[in-house]
Amino acid sequence: MNEALWELYQQVCQDEMVPLPEFVRRLAAGEWGAYPKADVLELLQELETMMLANIQMKMHEGRRFAEMADEVSEQTHAEFEKLTEFVEGAFP
């Protein structure tokens, strides 16, 4: 994992509350310098894995969460597919 990219993600998305799609668009525009496509794809894969794991953990916290887990997991996966497609086309 590219540590500089991970730290940038944490600063921008977690600290400044910038939505992930906006972060990825700004990253593609070179706002923070150039990052290799492979590093950005690796970041997205790691984030998706973490989010899906969190959904699965929440599933055990109650029936309501369990009922929503599959749908939320599918939505999350679809969002990351869109971001991955964008990165594939936007980065050299």
pLDDT digits (tens, 9 = 90+) for 52-69: 999 988 888 878 877 888
Where along the chain do its domains lie? 3-90
pLDDT digits (tens, 9 = 90+) for 35-48: 999 999 999 999 99
Mean pLDDT confidence for 10-19: 97
Residue identified by tokens 């921008």 is 12
pLDDT at 48: 97
pLDDT at 66: 79
* pTM attached to this predicted model: 0.91
